[in-house]
Amino acid sequence: MDSVEDLFRRLEQLNAIGAALSKERDINRLLENILLAAKAITHADGGTLYRMTEDRQALRFEILRTDSLHIALGGTTGNPITFPDLSLHDAAGKPNNSLVAAYAALHDETVNIADAYTEAGFDFSGTRKFDEHTGYRSQSFLTVPMKNHENEIIGVLQLINAKHPESGAVGPFSASDQRLAESMASQAAIALTNRQLISQLETLFESFITLINLAIDEKSPYTGGHCQRVPELTMMIAEAVNATTDGPLADFEMTDKDRYELKIAGLLHDCGKVTTPVHVVDKATKLQTLFDRIQLVDTRFEVLKRDAENNALRQQLALRDRRDAAAEDAIWNRYRAEVVALDGEREFLRKANIGGEAMSEADQQHVRSIGQNHKWRNVDGVEADFLSADETENLSIRAGTLTQKEREIINYHIVATIKMLEQLPWPKHLTRVPEYAGGHHERMDGKGYPKGLTREQMSLQARMMGIADIFEALTARDRPYKHGMKLSQALSIMENFRKNGHIDPDLFDVFIQQKVYLQYAKRFLDQAQIDETD
């Protein structure tokens, strides 16, 4: 019989176990801890934890331990359990009462067996075969159903061979063992159910995030990949910093909660793009709106060429009475030279329309000259400048394909992101998501947007995301206006950003030293982009 002192000690142990179980986030570790705690509190040599299958027709092996045989399967061991599920009913649909674990689940009843070899009413043939194969002697069994808050059986806890704490002799499980195991199973069921509910809510939440990113992806194939790749790269950078043991970032550490918070922020960092007009996001050329307006410019050139031809023919006709062949040839040569010049200007505008890293001031002025020097009659018969003011502004864009106004529209997505995220009632462990997600366009020198924060005003996580966002954009293969850069070119630009106060220098050092860029490149870039880097 247990002493009062031993009972008090085990009760204190039970309370400590309950508190520990309630804090565990990983379900595999939780299941493992449940069994290990139940074994410890009842001095059992072995045990098995079963969970009810989704269809509630069987019990599935989750964790199996036998200390004296050094058997550890399931859970965090990495050793899978290959035993088949225990069916709760036979082929005829009748309750499978011969299996003690199934019986406990079906009847919501604890089964305490002193000796399996002499117990009538249950089928222990499988146990005997196990014993014959291993030389073990399975004797006492304590099988306890686990119920959730809705009084549903969610699993079974089975303990084997109660051992005397001092002599080690195997004996039956005592009444106090049974009460403690039942209390343990109750606490474990609550902890497991809570963890499952939290996991389900997290899965639902992440599904909504995926839905938002899918909406962005459906709007534009050029940003959907970005929404997935930036979180991946952000986490790579974070893990590299977490692994750093020297230098200015040696003290940075992440818990599982920190990782989850940063992951969510990464997934939501561009959620505000749902407000960005598609024609701006997808603007592949300078004149693109709902269609590429360079086609209209092409048509005007054809009109100018037709007018030039008509003018030349009229001039030639005026000479026919005098029959001046030389004058006619001169007129026609001037016409052909004009056509060549028009074709050259058309080709120039077509190239200008593509956009690029930089357009010279001379080329910008050439666009303005073409737009003003040529006149044409529009569909209303009114003489007008060859290029409208809007077309001239777009074709004169110095870099890329966006006007200043369109850049402001694009940049507004981060303001929208912050507004959207700050409206959500974040739980305690996710309160920093808006700050992490909303800071990836800030700069270390305070010249970023939307708040103009400096390095000291930003979290390390937001600075990580800033590096991830830039590097992904430089190397992305799916942008409408450029090809993905090679590693050497992208890293050269990033190094300049480091020097001019755009990105965090300490984080970039880790990014380079830990070769995070190469780890990312192997997963997401074309092989042709992965070149030698200095």
> How far apart (Å, rounded) are the C-alpha atoms in residues 51 and 58?
8
CATH, range 4-198: 3.30.450.40
| Model pLDDT, residue 394 | 87
Torsion of CA 27, 28, 31, 32, to 10 degrees: -150
| Model pLDDT, residue 224 | 56
> How far apart (Å, rounded) are the C-alpha atoms in residues 434 and 418?
6
Q: What is the DSSP string of 370-413?
A: HHHH-EEE-TTS-EEESS-HHHHHHHT-SSSS--HHHHHHHHHH
273-to-287, 469, 474 alpha-carbon distances in Å:
22, 14, 19
| Model pLDDT, residue 405 | 87
| Model pLDDT, residue 23 | 65
Q: Do 413 and 276 form a contact (C-beta atoms < 8 A)?
A: yes
Which residue in this structure is represented by tokens 């992806």? Answer: 217
Give the pair of three-digit tokens for residue 154.
Answer: 């969610």
Instruction: Kindly list the domain boundaries of the chain, sorted by start residue.
Output: 4-198, 220-277+406-529, 294-401
Helix (H) or strand (E) holding 132: helix 125-134
User: Considering only CA atoms, which of 234, 228, 222 is closest in space to residue 470?
Assistant: 234
Name the stretches of the chain with pLDDT < 70. 1-25, 220-224, 321-322, 357, 478-482
Q: Do 85 and 115 form a contact (C-beta atoms < 8 A)?
A: no
| Model pLDDT, residue 13 | 62
Q: Answer yes or no: same fold for 4-198 and 220-277+406-529.
A: no
Q: The whole model's pTM is what? A: 0.66
Class of domain 220-277+406-529 (CATH, top level) = mainly alpha
| Model pLDDT, residue 502 | 95
